[in-house]
Structure 1
Amino acid sequence: MTDQPNLDELARMRADLSTALMTMAEQLAPLFDAADGMRAELATRGYSPESAEQVATVWLCTAMTTMGGTQ
């Protein structure tokens, strides 16, 4: 049988997770905005919506990987 965390510890863990997720959302927002802008710009230049979405998605995934320092 494993030890269960007490209610105070659970509350602290939830707060820590919420803070970490909010921080991550703040850091990723510029990347999402740039990808949205890229998609819109490509669409105005005559790319199909599907192609524009694919290019923006690949760029976003690459940017997130680079930002995270993982490969």
Structure 2
Amino acid sequence: MNGQTPFDPRQLSLDVMHAAEVMAAFFDAADGMRADLQRRGWSPTAAEQIAQSWLMAMLGMTGGGGQ
């Protein structure tokens, strides 16, 4: 055998569900950041751009892009 474990569709389903839970926390944080910036007087466009930049950076780091 080549040292790899056989494909397990149940494990894949669990991994995808776990990833969705982790990503939901990032999306919620970005939404909160956007709303907070708007409450502080930032324009909706600026608040969205800042939150989007932060979200993309965080997702990049979780995928190994920040290493």
TM-score norm. by structure 2 comes to 0.74
**Max Rg structure:** 1
The runs of at least 4 aligned residues of structure 1 exceeding 6 Å deviation read none
Aligned: 1:32 with 2:27: yes
Partner of 2:57: 62
Task: Give the 3-state SS of the residue equivalent to 2:42 in structure 1.
Answer: coil
Partner of 1:43: 38
> Runs of 5+ in structure 2 lacking a partner?
1-7
Alignment partners' CA distance in 2, 1:23 and 1:30: 11
- TM-superposed deviation, 1:61: 0.2
Gaps of 5+ in 1: 1-11
Which amino acid counterpart does residue 26 of structure 2 have in structure 1?
L
Superposed CA deviations along residues 20-44 of structure 1, whole A, max 9, x for unmatched, are: 3211111111111110110000000
The percentage of aligned residue pairs carrying the same residue is 47
CA RMSD between the two structures: 1.5
| C-alpha separation in 1, matches of 2:23 and 2:62 | 9
How many residue pairs are counted as aligned between the two chains?
Answer: 59
